[in-house]
A and B are shown apart, each in its own frame.
Chain A
């Protein structure tokens, strides 16, 4: 891994007004992602994981703080500029796959390029399809693909523009354990062989174990960090997470 910082979040806050009260979802979170890192954010339900991911990926604006991706401050960008930046420099993978039903697998992968009015480089899409092992399904529509294949297409869409960072929000949430495993293996491979920078959100320790850094989020703050978790450390992840639940406010 190189030391170049790809993503820098500085004192990110997110608050909602609910009647007279103010709900603080994220409380001045700061973090950095270096190029080639595979980071997971874990936390109990309602801890603000997805909100943090949406803010870091530019889908949502924070109440306070800044996010820089490759040196560009996305929190101060106007909507159209941000949208184009997201298209070219950010890859997104969702829990529900969120493929466009009227486009084929190949066209779904190419969607960011279609929106940009660009043609892919020669063989690029073929390379992605081959990498994702879905060449034989390139002309099929999402309705004709399995969940695992759909998620692979989603990964392909996230990869096609060679983004600076890939964000994945509960990517295995709708997959069975086998597909989930295969998917995680793919992410790992992308990270190790292609040096892709990945930020993933999950509540599954088994999925989180595939990453090389885990950040634990509770009550809007990062409460702990675990580096280089392996399969053997899955228990440790569970223990840390459990500790988080039992002892609120305590750093694990």
Chain B
């Protein structure tokens, strides 16, 4: 090895190449270190954050809901604890007594808590995502772990006559409402406006523990339990006493079958670790994959370029007696040195980034950075392994080097296509093409085969076909690129094929970055599209909850400024369970166990909804709209949405059954004590039309779903006439919902301003205490959906965006190679009469050719991968009623393509500027 050291003197001429290699490796290692570090650090903080919330309590008990999927599917679908007028769940007195009398605990506190939802809309915007769910405890003073130091503001004052609360900060995932603001607490039956007077700083929520600390004014309105009822028992026990000990004791007393949940710190931490890990697990594989792929591509291209550059030197060394093994060893040593430097620098940079981030958020990371040294070693090991993997082909090339190769100048030969490699590549691509056909297999199986077999083989196959692909690009794209750069095509011809290995390396590196971005964007758009409310929906969905309004008030609402009166349509709606046959058919068709088996029935005015001046001007995908608007006036007819029709296998003319309670006014209090469902009968509806409508968010954000104890989710939506609706839903003495369009003046306003003005005017008009009139604009829902979707896939989608820019670094590899290898040739061109402008355009043309080849490759692979991910998601999604089909956001894809071109050009600026400054005579003298 000592004798080989002088070899590396040649590397002083490759300082830029080696620097680029080290920077590439460092950036990958930095990403790996950050990824591992942020996950481990976050997981490490869980214990203190849980401990902060649960203080010195050994364990605690809350009631467990008896609701289960089986209960829903067997027909007892209404949640017992959520039915209108029903009481919240409680812990049985026997359990309370047993725990109070247990010798395990020195102190036992019994509390009653009430579940509420916090209706907070920042700036009056549509709220997206679930409402924060809090638990109001019955006494502020009885929780021993309240630490005044953690309180910002003050505790609510008892008996002031004003409704005051203090919140747990962990209740709000985003910005907390300011102290002094008023928010609404919603129960199933009531709404209480409360003023925020303080915040208790907590990092995490523990289920069952109080998060809303209210005074007696609020508790009096919200709490439905009697003073004797208990639904939270907090236990302080001797050391070592925890959940298991309590469960054993209760079992010993014959209370093992009680519907209670017993937790302690360890079980909560374990649960949170699992859920937190799952959150990271959704992005870790991608980040690790990107980092390793980038490292692999860059190291390969870098080393390969270096070999080409020193080809003559190596051949001469072989000529004077250096063995193949010695020569190969120099390459490996060179690469490992680069890998080691890069790994150390990258690890240090990643740790520094993590440290700075953690230091700026001490309340989230009280224990600081947690990254055991073992993990750093693992990352270094992975880096060196990846570097070795990237060396396989270059080492084979060096191993084959012969002394007589010294006269062969690098990059002067137009490499022909290796047809053996191409044929092998096509064979590898075939499985993906076959699996894309409509074969007789379950969607799950197909997804798994495509994901684990088809797509990887497709990508490897395309790599083997790369040489042919570059040849095709060199011929097919050449005229266009030459025209774009205003050069004779002969000046660009064969430039990208003169060094296949390097060109393939650069092309693949760019393609990986762009392909990842395309995959995520397509997958994100496919996920998003079914949730975007259809443009044909009316401007405004109005709801008056929880009490509804009478017909006279509705008329006044209709005549409010901004409401287009002729479009105003009240809506009667409720959710009804599907018949058993229909449920079984649905589950068989979608091949998942349905988590929801109800249908949203919407009663409308057929003429107004679907007639000549329809406010739902949808084209029917089944049936005729003109006929449907007439036929819908007949009783027991309906128009169903396309997703429900497809999943249920229904078409125009078919009928299906719904389970309708015999007494539409019955509440849960009328049930038997065993909780069996109310008496019901089956009503059949006939399908007279099928409508393709994105209904999910429209109904989710308009208060239509999840009312009166019904499930939030539904399998679909069906339109019926008012007459039919009155036989299916509660006869309305009150009206709760209406849809309408706005007047042209209001339409000319920004939609958010128009909706807020309407809402304010209507709330002033109605002015009933506890009542809320909400006007939701369709575009508010669209905007919120996009923001929420971006938030959900944001962590995933930001990484490929980074990859777009960073993978373009590979262009530097190309240009460094050009600058060194072809310096003399470029000097001759300048001497013969090539201007600087032509010179720059020639280099630009070469970049565009390789980039163009990479773009097509990335689109093919990206769309294939996106199709696989979308299929996986469709197979595994909880939204089994939503039709998720692959959607390609072509504008965003085009934007990413142009961005990658811009990034490549930006990377090229430095080397091109440097080489164009050189004088022709200096360049000609280069070796």
Select A100's contact among B825, B838, B924, beta carbons within 8 Å.
B825
A157 at interface, CB cutoff 8 A: yes
B830→A83 contact, CB < 8 A: yes
CA distance A116 to B488 in the complex (A): 9
| 6 CB-based A-B contacts, threshold 8 Å | A79-B835, A98-B831, A101-B409, A102-B498, A115-B829, A115-B833
State which of B489-497, B569-577, B788-796 sits at the interface with chain A: B489-497
CA distance A192 to B414 in the complex (A): 40
Knowing that A103-B490, A115-B832 touch, tell me 4 more A-B residue pairs with CB under 8 angstroms. Answer: A60-B919, A79-B835, A115-B835, A116-B833
A86-115 near B? 1/0 per residue, CB < 8 Å: 111000101010111111000100011011
CA distance A210 to B601 in the complex (A): 104
B262 at interface, CB cutoff 8 A: no
Q: Which residue of A lies closest to B498 (CB)?
A: A102
Cβ–Cβ < 8 Å partners of B799 in chain A: none
A143→B919 contact, CB < 8 A: no
Cβ–Cβ < 8 Å partners of B488 in chain A: 114-115, 117
Q: Tell me, rounded to whole Å, the shortest Cβ–Cβ distance linking A15 to chain B.
A: 16
Which of A102, A107, A111, A116 has the most C-beta atoms of chain B within 10 angstroms of its own C-beta? A102
A80 at interface, CB cutoff 8 A: yes
- Known contacts A80-B836, A114-B488, A92 near B829 by CB under 8 Å: no
Q: Tell me, rounded to whole Å, the shortest Cβ–Cβ distance linking A154 to chain B.
A: 10
A100→B829 contact, CB < 8 A: yes
B505 at interface, CB cutoff 8 A: no
- Known contacts A102-B493, A103-B490, A114-B488, A88 near B833 by CB under 8 Å: yes
A54 at interface, CB cutoff 8 A: yes
Chain B residues with CB under 8 Å of chain A are 409, 412-414, 488, 490-491, 493-495, 498, 824-825, 828-838, 919-921, 924
A112→B832 contact, CB < 8 A: yes
Cβ–Cβ < 8 Å partners of B829 in chain A: 100, 111, 115
Q: Tell me, rounded to whole Å, the shortest Cβ–Cβ distance linking B915 to chain A.
A: 14
A80→B834 contact, CB < 8 A: no
B833→A86 contact, CB < 8 A: yes
Select B831's contact among A92, A101, A107, A143, beta carbons within 8 Å.
A92
CA distance A66 to B838 in the complex (A): 27
B825→A59 contact, CB < 8 A: no
CA distance A84 to B836 in the complex (A): 11
Q: Which residue of A lies closest to B839 (CB)?
A: A83
CA distance A157 to B834 in the complex (A): 14
CA distance A22 to B412 in the complex (A): 40
Which of B494, B825, B834, B837 has the most C-beta atoms of chain A within 10 angstroms of its own C-beta? B834
CA distance A172 to B495 in the complex (A): 29
CA distance A112 to B833 in the complex (A): 6
Q: Tell me, rounded to whole Å, the shortest Cβ–Cβ distance linking B410 to chain A.
A: 11
Select B919's contact among A59, A80, A112, beta carbons within 8 Å.
A59
B835→A98 contact, CB < 8 A: no
Cβ–Cβ < 8 Å partners of A114 in chain B: 488, 490-491
Q: Tell me, rounded to whole Å, the shortest Cβ–Cβ distance linking B60 to chain A.
A: 78
Q: Tell me, rounded to whole Å, the shortest Cβ–Cβ distance linking A96 to chain B.
A: 8
CA distance A59 to B833 in the complex (A): 10
CA distance A98 to B495 in the complex (A): 17
A59→B412 contact, CB < 8 A: no
CA distance A101 to B495 in the complex (A): 10
Q: Tell me, rounded to whole Å, the shortest Cβ–Cβ distance linking A13 to chain B.
A: 17
Cβ–Cβ < 8 Å partners of A54 in chain B: 921
Q: Which residue of B lies closest to A54 (CB)?
A: B921
A102→B835 contact, CB < 8 A: no
Q: Which residue of B lies closest to A142 (CB)?
A: B412
A60→B833 contact, CB < 8 A: no
Q: Tell me, rounded to whole Å, the shortest Cβ–Cβ distance linking A163 to chain B.
A: 10
Cβ–Cβ < 8 Å partners of A83 in chain B: 830, 833-836
CA distance A59 to B834 in the complex (A): 12
Cβ–Cβ < 8 Å partners of A79 in chain B: 835-836
Cβ–Cβ < 8 Å partners of A143 in chain B: 412-413
CA distance A83 to B493 in the complex (A): 23
- Known contacts A102-B414, A114-B491, A115-B832, A94 near B837 by CB under 8 Å: no
Q: Tell me, rounded to whole Å, the shortest Cβ–Cβ distance linking A241 to chain B.
A: 25
Cβ–Cβ < 8 Å partners of A92 in chain B: 831-832
- Known contacts A60-B919, A94-B924, A114-B488, A102 near B833 by CB under 8 Å: no
Cβ–Cβ < 8 Å partners of A84 in chain B: 833, 835
A87→B833 contact, CB < 8 A: yes
Select A102's contact among B409, B495, B836, beta carbons within 8 Å.
B495
How many residues of chain A get a CB closer than 8 Å to chain B's CBs?
28
- Known contacts A59-B921, A107-B490, A143-B412, A100 near B828 by CB under 8 Å: yes
CA distance A115 to B831 in the complex (A): 12
B838→A101 contact, CB < 8 A: no
- Known contacts A101-B825, A102-B495, A157 near B832 by CB under 8 Å: yes
Cβ–Cβ < 8 Å partners of A80 in chain B: 835-837
Q: Which residue of B lies closest to A116 (CB)?
A: B833
CA distance A199 to B835 in the complex (A): 24
Q: Which residue of A lies closest to B837 (CB)?
A: A80
Cβ–Cβ < 8 Å partners of A103 in chain B: 490
CA distance A146 to B240 in the complex (A): 92
CA distance A60 to B409 in the complex (A): 27
Q: Tell me, rounded to whole Å, the shortest Cβ–Cβ distance linking A50 to chain B.
A: 9
A44-88 near B? 1/0 per residue, CB < 8 Å: 000000000010000110000000000000000001100110111
Q: Tell me, rounded to whole Å, the shortest Cβ–Cβ distance linking B247 to chain A.
A: 80
A200-234 near B? 1/0 per residue, CB < 8 Å: 00000000000000000000000000000000000
B828→A98 contact, CB < 8 A: yes
A102→B494 contact, CB < 8 A: yes
- Known contacts A102-B493, A102-B498, A115-B838, A87 near B832 by CB under 8 Å: yes
Which of B412, B831, B919 has the most C-beta atoms of chain A within 10 angstroms of its own C-beta? B831
Which of A88, A115, A157 has the most C-beta atoms of chain B within 10 angstroms of its own C-beta? A115
CA distance A100 to B494 in the complex (A): 12
A60→B921 contact, CB < 8 A: yes
Cβ–Cβ < 8 Å partners of B825 in chain A: 98, 100-101
- Known contacts A54-B921, A100-B825, A111 near B832 by CB under 8 Å: yes
Chain A residues 105 to 131 lying within 8 A of chain B, measured CB to CB, are: 107, 111-112, 114-117
Cβ–Cβ < 8 Å partners of B919 in chain A: 59-60
CA distance A111 to B491 in the complex (A): 9
Cβ–Cβ < 8 Å partners of B833 in chain A: 83-84, 86-88, 111-112, 115-116
Q: Tell me, rounded to whole Å, the shortest Cβ–Cβ distance linking B415 to chain A.
A: 12
Q: Which residue of B lies closest to A157 (CB)?
A: B832
CA distance A143 to B414 in the complex (A): 11
Q: Which residue of B lies closest to A80 (CB)?
A: B835
CA distance A192 to B266 in the complex (A): 102
A86→B831 contact, CB < 8 A: yes
CA distance A99 to B832 in the complex (A): 10
Q: Which residue of A lies closest to B413 (CB)?
A: A143
Which of A54, A80, A103 has the most C-beta atoms of chain B within 10 angstroms of its own C-beta? A54
CA distance A28 to B402 in the complex (A): 50
Cβ–Cβ < 8 Å partners of B834 in chain A: 83, 87, 115
Nearest 4 A-B pairs (CB), nearest first? A87-B833, A101-B412, A98-B828, A59-B921
Q: Tell me, rounded to whole Å, the shortest Cβ–Cβ distance linking B409 to chain A.
A: 8
Cβ–Cβ < 8 Å partners of B828 in chain A: 94, 98-100
A171-189 near B? 1/0 per residue, CB < 8 Å: 0000000000000000000
Q: Tell me, rounded to whole Å, the shortest Cβ–Cβ distance linking A109 to chain B.
A: 11
Q: Tell me, rounded to whole Å, the shortest Cβ–Cβ distance linking A117 to chain B.
A: 7
Cβ–Cβ < 8 Å partners of A60 in chain B: 919, 921
Q: Which residue of B lies closest to A86 (CB)?
A: B833
Cβ–Cβ < 8 Å partners of A102 in chain B: 412, 414, 493-495, 498
Q: Tell me, rounded to whole Å, the shortest Cβ–Cβ distance linking B55 to chain A.
A: 77
CA distance A83 to B838 in the complex (A): 11
Q: Which residue of A lies closest to B923 (CB)?
A: A59
CA distance A136 to B382 in the complex (A): 57
Q: Tell me, rounded to whole Å, the shortest Cβ–Cβ distance linking B733 to chain A.
A: 86
Cβ–Cβ < 8 Å partners of B493 in chain A: 102
Cβ–Cβ < 8 Å partners of A96 in chain B: 824
Cβ–Cβ < 8 Å partners of B924 in chain A: 59, 94, 98
